[in-house]
Structure 1
């Protein structure tokens, strides 16, 4: 399963895993593409949290 590493707002390493649902591929690609510019910011932290929560919820629905 593909993934990339990022840093949260506290500069802790964080692994972002590729989605298990196709509906989130575009958001995953956006997060990966803009990681260097946005990592460490509150908005990037929020976006990654939303992404991870949506991935979990969509997996549960299946």
Structure 2
């Protein structure tokens, strides 16, 4: 089960935390297995998407270049 999805900057500061809790959110994320978000407001640089599922934690690096 998906527990947490967040976006952090290169310093590790959480920029955005996505609501993945609750019946409606869990139903959506479990069926779609995707999270969409806009990067329009972000400065160019390196960011990390943190995904926590149960006891597993995965960090994916994202590079924004405008």
TM-score, normalising length: structure 2: 0.28
TM-score, normalising length: structure 1: 0.29
> Which structure is higher in helix share?
1
> Which structure is higher in strand share?
2
